[in-house]
Amino acid sequence: MLPALLVAGALGANLAFLGLGIVFDYPDVLAYPPLEVMDRFADNQVAVSTLFLLLALSAGLLAPISFGLVARTPRPDWIVPLGVTAAAVQVIGLLRWPAIVPFIEDPETFRTVSTILGTVVGETFGYLATAAWTLVVARQFGLRVLAIPAAALILSGVLVPLGVPGADLANFVGYLLWSLWLIALAWRVWRASGDARVETAAAA
């Protein structure tokens, strides 16, 4: 079950991100004037909302993944608190698109909602919690050669609102590495579960 959740989280997020890039020019669209963003959203509301729901669901999987991981280590540390936090803030930020944006008519209201729920909650807090969670999990389960650079690059996302050149690209690359790390972690967990079953059968 846990390996499937890890793979689903990685694939779901990337498929949703790819789809949003095609139908909504995401994430570049976030830098457009509010009225233009609202018009683009209205033009493809069903598709964009569905893809954001998929992205939110993928982010939300960090919560059950965290509980699954702590069941496999004697030192859970901060895996669950950080995982649940990362899941919650990202889901809150992403769900504004299907749940709130369709009912906003004023561009300034849209800007305020996007700043609070998007930039601050979903992105900044999401990057911080995801990077910290990744490092804590890597400390217990390894694969640090992928986890550490992924966490560092994801963390660079907090610099995007400040206009730091290259921060958006670094953040994007970080999430690609992070997805590979999740899939590699799924393989490691699956192999460990198989070894445990063999040992149990041999001892019976």
Model confidence pLDDT, tens digit, residues 104-154: 999 999 999 999 999 999 999 999 999 999 999 999 998 999 999 999 999
Q: What is the mean pLDDT of residues 152-168?
A: 95
pLDDT over threshold 60, residue 201: no
pTM (2 decimals)?
0.91
pLDDT over threshold 50, residue 71: yes
Cα separation, 66 vs 77, in Å, equals: 11
Residue 74: per-residue pLDDT = 86
Cα separation, 85 vs 22, in Å, equals: 29
Q: What is the mean pLDDT of residues 151-164?
A: 95
- Categorize the per-residue pLDDT at 195 as very low, low, confident or very high, splitting at 50, 70 and 90: low
Exposure string over 141-180, b if 16+ CB within 10 A, otherwise e: bebeebbbebbebbbbbbbbeeeeeebbebbebbbebbbe
Residue 77: per-residue pLDDT = 85
Q: Are 64 and 121 in contact (CB under 8 A)?
A: no
Residue 194: per-residue pLDDT = 66
Percentage of the residues of the chain whose pLDDT score is greater than 70: 95
Q: What is the mean pLDDT of residues 66-93?
A: 95
Q: Are 78 and 136 in contact (CB under 8 A)?
A: yes
Q: What is the mean pLDDT of residues 60-78?
A: 93
Contact partners, residue 88, CB within 8 Å, separation at least 6: 63
pLDDT over threshold 80, residue 20: yes
Q: What is the mean pLDDT of residues 52-70?
A: 97
Q: Are 79 and 69 in contact (CB under 8 A)?
A: yes
